[in-house]
A and B are shown apart, each in its own frame.
Chain A
């Protein structure tokens, strides 16, 4: 059981480049989300999805796009990377929002924008 898989684990981008952080889960979880973790600021919600075809913004959505075409995948796109997007990114998933279930996290992607 792979759980939540994030790729890549590390990435260096130049300012203005674009890239997609991949997130896949094999637990048939309806809910998926993306967080960024910065020193002294904890984890902040970027975007989330309560099911295939449904996405919504979190606390810090600017500069990021998401889509949810399948239950399994929830990619995060940076269209034009900026140094302020240097961070560790986490994807998480869990079962339907109506249930009291724990969230499962990927191992994170450390992104550096130079």
Chain B
């Protein structure tokens, strides 16, 4: 199984400010996908953003962007202009581009947004 590490169990950010959540992973593969999922109190798993490893350009989705450093095996999530609705657990996940393509998750970061 691949290893995905989220070293920040909890983070907080002031409303309208920017926060960055960290994620590192361990793999010997060259082709894979990386994801950030959001889990609000409703428990629903919501895909926030994804990155293909073969793409050098960092993915962006509105206020969410990633900093993908393939050599360092790092995949951080930046949330700009934080909103109260961004408060949730955030999970980083890895999926191989070959084989069964199972998703492997990190342990999560709980984000609190302070009004």
Residues of A within 8 A of B (CB): 31, 33, 35, 40-45, 48, 50, 56, 58-59, 88, 90, 92, 97, 100, 102-103, 105, 107-108
Contacts and interface: CB of A to CB of B under 8 A. Distances in A.
B68 to A, nearest CB: 15
Contacts of A92: 45, 103
B13 to A, nearest CB: 21
A44 B108 CA distance: 12
Interface in B98-114: 99-108
Given A31-B101, A44-B105, A107 B47 contact: no
A100 B52 contact: yes
Interface of B: 1, 4, 6, 9, 33, 35, 42-45, 47, 50, 52, 91, 97, 99-108
Contacts of A48: 100, 102
Instruction: State the majority secondary structure of interface residues on B.
Output: loop
B101 A41 contact: no
A89 to B, nearest CB: 11
A88 B9 CA distance: 19
Instruction: State the majority secondary structure of interface residues on A.
Output: strand
Given A100-B52, A105-B45, 10 more contacts: A31-B100, A40-B107, A42-B91, A42-B108, A43-B103, A45-B103, A50-B100, A92-B45, A102-B35, A105-B44
Nearest to A44: B105
A108 B108 contact: no
18 contacts: A31-B101, A33-B103, A42-B4, A42-B91, A45-B1, A45-B102, A48-B102, A50-B100, A56-B100, A58-B102, A90-B45, A97-B101, A100-B33, A102-B50, A103-B47, A103-B103, A108-B43, A108-B44
